[in-house]
């Protein structure tokens, strides 16, 4: 199956100002996603942006750029609107579309490949990356709550808890034709792809997230994504 990767990267950001072009472990945040896509099996990479500096970073990395109009670069612009703009403006013909959000810099290229392959071999229309979670959860208010996934009198060992799966926002893959009908990244029969490393699903949404990720990558990863 042919696959195209879309990387949405606007210039402004409320949580972390200018985060997509801000240096993380020595390179712009958006570049981590571009490089992961380039090392994967996707045949084309398109960066959707409204920012000239981000466009310059993308072109220097030899990937395509599509400028989005101002109305698609607002804080409340849904990502689906950006995806639709790319697919319809460029008349993308690839069988599969992969969405890679810059806020997840530690995804591995093989994750991308595996999700594309999953759409090819399994009867799924869309697939999302998830992180398994075996914590104890409660629901309700502070003064009236109840456990969600265990019985306190029969407290299980943590490894015996049936995991919940957290949508980590790192990768979404879907059939292009189906998306153009649904205009939603998750449609039809949805499959889960569980990432085998917990750090791979970390998202950068706040200034604290950015600083912690930057420090961790310098300290533990040597500013390189592990193979």
Which residues carry out catalysis?
155
Alpha carbons within 13 A on the beta-carbon side of 194:
6
Q: Cβ–Cβ contacts within 10 Å for residue 65, how many? A: 18
Place of tokens 């449609």: 187
Q: Quote the CA–CA distance of 48 and 30 in Å, as a whole number.
A: 11
Q: Quote the CA–CA distance of 68 and 73 in Å, as a whole number.
A: 7
Please write down the long-range contacts of 22-27, taking CB distance under 8 Å and 24 or more positions apart. 22/210, 24/105, 24/204, 24/210, 24/213, 24/214, 24/217, 25/213, 25/214, 25/217, 25/218, 25/221, 25/223, 26/223
Q: Quote the CA–CA distance of 35 and 63 in Å, as a whole number.
A: 10
Task: Find the helix or strand (DSSP H, E) in which 83 lies.
Answer: helix 79-89
């Amino acid at each position: 199956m042919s696959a195209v990767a879309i990387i949405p990267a606007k210039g402004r950001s409320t949580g972390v100002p200018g985060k997509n072009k801000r240096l993380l472990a020595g390179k712009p945040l958006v570049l981590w996603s571009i490089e992961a896509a380039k090392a994967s099996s996707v045949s084309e990479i398109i960066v959707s942006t409204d920012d000239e500096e981000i466009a310059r970073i993308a072109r220097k990395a030899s990937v395509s750029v599509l400028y989005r109009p101002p109305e698609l670069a607002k804080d409340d612009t849904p990502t689906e609107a950006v995806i639709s703009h790319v697919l319809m403006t460029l008349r993308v013909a690839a069988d599969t579309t992969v969405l890679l959000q810059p806020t997840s810099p530690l995804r591995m290229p093989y994750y991308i490949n595996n999700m594309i392959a999953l759409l090819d071999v399994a009867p799924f229309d869309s697939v999302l990356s998830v992180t398994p979670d075996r914590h104890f959860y409660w629901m309700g208010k502070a003064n009236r709550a109840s456990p969600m996934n265990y019985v306190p009198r029969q407290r299980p060992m943590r490894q015996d808890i049936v995991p919940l799966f957290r949508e980590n926002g790192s990768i979404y893959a879907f059939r292009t034709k189906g998306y153009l009908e649904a205009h939603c990244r998750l449609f039809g029969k949805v499959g889960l792809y569980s990432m085998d490393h917990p750090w791979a699903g970390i998202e950068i949404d706040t200034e604290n997230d950015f600083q912690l990720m930057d420090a961790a990558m310098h300290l533990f990863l040597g500013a390189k994504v592990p193979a």
